[in-house]
Amino acid sequence: MERYIGFYIEKPIGNNIFSYEERENKKIYVPKLIEGNLNDIKVGDKIVFNEIDEEKEIKARGLKNMVKYNIDQKDVYIFDNHNHALYFWIKSLKKDKFSKGCKLVHVDQHKDMREPDDYNVNMDNIEDVFTYTNEVLNVGNFIQPALKHNIFSDVVIIDSSYGFDLDIKGEYVLDIDLDIFSKDMDYIPHEIKICKIQNLIKKAKVITIASSPFFIDQEYAIKVLKELFNYDIM
């Protein structure tokens, strides 16, 4: 049974914890997961991330749906807030789509390596992973649990010019945050980022992609996503 059926988080947990007491809006939406292609990636009308930034309340609207997309027989999961990656890694691992203990390649404006409040999750129980992903984790602390529980042996972080020069060898899962194309990252030429990520896509076992609505315009993120996959906008 698919657990991502579209629901609200109304308590100060997970991604809803940020500036909760100060905010006017008290709930965020977690979209439904559908199977489809890149034409199904559309901006929705619901608030998926809410934060006070410089005394202004930012009500970020994310994707209408999360989308599972298949390319060359590999799983590609596309969603808005990045913590959902953990759930999809475990889902793919249970289908033997990658080897437990391989590398994670994390392409992102941010390292996302903060520690969660706890590591109490049974990675063999997908229901428990779902609850943990949505109620304990947030956009900045979802990688450490995967390392702690030996889902990955190591993480290669690509968040700088140096990172884009790295030669990645061996088996890996590719994790992309489209905010790597935000204006803050314009010091790395667009063509270099596209070319490097396209090459990483070809060899990855599984691909998770976050659109990060708080950090990058979603229409632009979708445009770049389609460029990465050489996908015609129809």
For residue range 69-96, what is the model confidence (pLDDT) as tens digits?
998 889 999 999 999 999 999 999 999 9
Mean local confidence (pLDDT), 121-137: 98
Task: Kindly state whether residue 78 falls inside one of the protein's structural domains.
Answer: yes
Considering the chain, what percentage of its residues have pLDDT values greater than 90?
94
Among 149, 212, 202, residue whose Cα is nearest residue 180: 212
Question: Rounded mean pLDDT of 195-224?
Answer: 97
The mean per-residue pLDDT over the stretch 32-47 comes to: 96
Convert 82-93 to b/e letters by CB count within 10 Å (16 or more is b).
Answer: bbbbbbbbbbbb
Q: How confident is the model at residue 109 (pLDDT cuts 50, 70, 90)?
A: very high
pLDDT band for position 162 (cuts 50, 70, 90)? very high
**Does 9 map to a domain?**
no
**Is the CB of residue 8 less than 8 Å from the CB of residue 29?**
yes
33 occurs within a structural domain:
no
Say which residue, 1 or 98, is predicted with more confidence. 98
Mean pLDDT of the chain: 95
Cα–Cα dist 68/40, whole Å: 10
Residue 41 lies in a domain: no
What's the pTM value of the predicted model, to 2 decimals? Answer: 0.96
| Range(s) of the domain holding residue 160 | 65-228
Position 232 pLDDT exceeds 60? no
Domain count, the chain: 1
State residue 233's pLDDT score.
41
Percent of the chain scored above 70 by pLDDT?
98
Query: Which H, E and C letters describe the chain, residue by residue?
Result: CCCCEEEEECCCCHHHHCCCCCCCCCCEEEEEEEECCHHHCCEEEEEEEEEEECCEEEEEEEECEEEEEEECCEEEEEECCHHHHHHHHHHHHHCCCCCCCEEEEEECCCCCCCCCCCCCCCCCCHHHHHHHHHHCCCCCCCHHHHHHCCCEEEEEEECCHHHHCCCCCCCEEEEEEHHHHCHHHCCCCHHHHHHHHHHHHHHCCCEEEECCCCCCCHHHHHHHHHHHCCCCCC
pLDDT at 31: 98
The verdict on residue 35 lying in a domain is no
Q: Is residue 156 part of a domain?
A: yes
pLDDT at 231: 63
Domain-embedded: residue 12: no
Give the pLDDT score at 1: 75
pLDDT at 234: 36
Residue 59: inside a domain = no
